[in-house]
Structure 1
Amino acid sequence: MKHSYYLILGLAFLCSSCGNTKKATKSNETSSTMTTTSLTGKKWKLIELNGQPVADRVNNKEPFIEFNDTDKRYTASGGCNGLGGTYTLTDKGGITFSQGMSTMMACEDMAIENQLKEVFGKADNFTINNNVLSLNKARMATLAKFQATDNGNATSQLNGTWEVDYISGPRIAFDGLYPDKKPTITFNLPDSIATGNSSCNNFRSSVKIEGSNIKFGMPASTRMACPGAGESTFFKTLESINKFSVSGNTLNLIMGDIAVMRLQRK
């Protein structure tokens, strides 16, 4: 009789443990989903670094960070180069960053960018309160703060004509690639066609946009003979792009983590 009592007690404890484990697992999954949702789908504007306020614009650019839930990558800027890499979320607000490649431009003020890079190397957790994202190191002082901004009109901000003033990669200087005329791109959303000029020929290309993701189809262009490598460099770069970021009158077209083409609104 006593053995039966202990057997029943043991089974009851085992069932209770299984139920608690399932609840904990479900709770962790829900927490992880809520955490991911709260980070993604927003553009976070950098407002504070190491306890010091950050100007609205650095080198005439807005410093920011964005998180992509699909491929777990982040895109950021400290006001100069395009920064990025992957991020990993863990339970209880844990986060780690793996930095990828960045552009290599030299700007007048590099202090904010250099400090932001250090934050990505140190941060191990985050909090979000009142639309403010804080990146932290253990229980020490907050390393960086970002304010959520309305990114819902980013697509409509693409509309209009943009002129290229920077392309990453070619060994030939930009002015050497385009001595007479710079490439342009014109958007008229919600049309799914972008038009423009390669610096030589007019072109049309399909364009697909989902959030901050963008994909250009193979351009169809007129057939004038073009000197130099400017047109081929432009078209090749255009087809490699998968993201975009609009900051004021500047459009960055991004491949992976790197802003490979920069344009100014005309």
Structure 2
Amino acid sequence: MNQNFLNATIILVLLITSCGTRKVPTSVDQPTDMLDKKWQLIELNGKPVAEKINGKTPSLEFFSKDTSYSAVTGCNGIGGKFVFKPNGKIEFSAGMSTMMFCEDMSVEHGLKDVFEKADNFTINGDFLSLNKAKMAPLAKFKLIETQNASLDGTWELDYMSGTRIAFDGLYPNKKPTITFDTSNNKVSGNSSCNNYSGNMTLDGNVIKFGPLASTKMACPGNGESSFFQTLDKVNTYSVQENTLTFIMGDIAIMRFQKKS
């Protein structure tokens, strides 16, 4: 057999074998031990973080349903989207944020910086770290062993976005409330003027209201109409301790505090 022909045959066999054993890239695994749980911030840029900042526990949640994250900074609620990448990499994009000013804003500013810089994560038991490259962790969290926060009960509105009139101008005498009965998928409350009630649908943290019926008392100002118009835009929610946030897309548009 011609030697050149034999060499060519051997090379062809090796190429075919190599192609046949080449691994096809697979999708990035979801670290389920990190998702749909609440993580308390315990360290930021190497410094310990108090359990309460401005009376709130700084914390972080990752939601598997829509790949969104929600954080309590000790002042405002912030959030957005995240993407898992190979080899423990992660990428955050900014989204919703309430706009309150608090006495201590240091943790809030620090956490926003973490979400801008972090590109990977590590999980060790009940502890989660967000890191940049191989440097020291930007932020450390510990798992909070609590049951999922419940919507049930009555909540009072204390923030609403998208209106030209200041919140206190819309509701000078009485703030709107909302009461949930999740076992029957019912909702009721007061719009600051009329009582209302109706149905809701829940799917994870996705929520939709309607139809809603209300009493017909004449109401001064635009407070009631603004409340119902904004409520109709809500599609997801987040509960952090005694604070309920309604979200449209990735924008926080309403915030309530627990009354009972």
- Tell me, yes or no, whether TM beats 0.5: yes
Summarize deviations over 1:24-47 as a string: whole Å, max 9, x none: x24xx3xx2233x33322222222
Q: Does 1:11 align with 2:13?
A: yes
For 1:177, the equivalent position in structure 2 comes to 170
Measured in 2, the distance between the counterparts of 1:200 and 1:233 equals 12
Contact 1:83-1:258 at 8 Å conserved across structures = no
Summarize deviations over 1:204-240 as a string: whole Å, max 9, x none: 1322222222222242211111111111111112122
Q: Does 1:117 align with 2:112?
A: yes
Summarize the Cα distance change of 1:227–1:242 in structure 2 as closer, same or farther, 3 Å threshold.
same
Q: Does 1:81 align with 2:76?
A: yes
For 1:263, the equivalent position in structure 2 comes to 256
Cα shift at 1:140: 0.6
Residues 32-71 of structure 1 correspond to what in structure 2 (within 5 A)? Answer: 32-35=28-31, 37-71=32-66
Which of the numbers 102, 107, 124 marks the counterpart of 1:107? 102
Which of the numbers 205, 214, 223 marks the counterpart of 2:216? 223
Measured in 2, the distance between the counterparts of 1:19 and 1:152 equals 47
Measured in 2, the distance between the counterparts of 1:206 and 1:151 equals 28
Q: Does 1:186 align with 2:197?
A: no
For 2:247, the equivalent position in structure 1 comes to 254
Summarize the Cα distance change of 1:83–1:13 in structure 2 as closer, same or farther, 3 Å threshold.
same
Measured in 1, the distance between the counterparts of 2:136 and 2:98 equals 30
Which of the numbers 200, 204, 208 marks the counterpart of 1:211? 204
Contact 2:155-2:179 at 8 Å conserved across structures = yes
- SS of 2:30 mapped into structure 1: helix
Q: Percent of pairs identical after alignment? A: 54
Contact 2:30-2:84 at 8 Å conserved across structures = no
Measured in 2, the distance between the counterparts of 1:235 and 1:58 equals 33
* RMSD, aligned CA: 2.2
- SS of 2:189 mapped into structure 1: strand
Measured in 2, the distance between the counterparts of 1:170 and 1:45 equals 33
TM-score by length of 2: 0.89
- SS of 2:138 mapped into structure 1: strand
Which of the numbers 20, 23, 30 marks the counterpart of 2:22? 20
Summarize deviations over 1:106-149 as a string: whole Å, max 9, x none: 11110000011111111111111113221101111100012233
Contact 1:80-1:106 at 8 Å conserved across structures = yes
Q: Which amino acid in the other structure matches residue 16 of structure 2?
A: L
Q: Does 1:130 align with 2:125?
A: yes
Structure 2, unmatched stretches of 5+, are none
Q: Which amino acid in the other structure matches residue 21 of structure 2?
A: G
For 2:235, the equivalent position in structure 1 comes to 242
- SS of 2:62 mapped into structure 1: strand
| More moved, 174-183 vs 95-104 | 95-104
- SS of 2:230 mapped into structure 1: helix
Cα shift at 1:8: 5.1
Structure 1, unmatched stretches of 5+, are none
TM-score by length of 1: 0.87
Cα shift at 1:77: 2.4
Summarize the Cα distance change of 1:131–1:244 in structure 2 as closer, same or farther, 3 Å threshold.
same
For 1:201, the equivalent position in structure 2 comes to 194
Contact 2:235-2:247 at 8 Å conserved across structures = yes
Higher helix share: 1
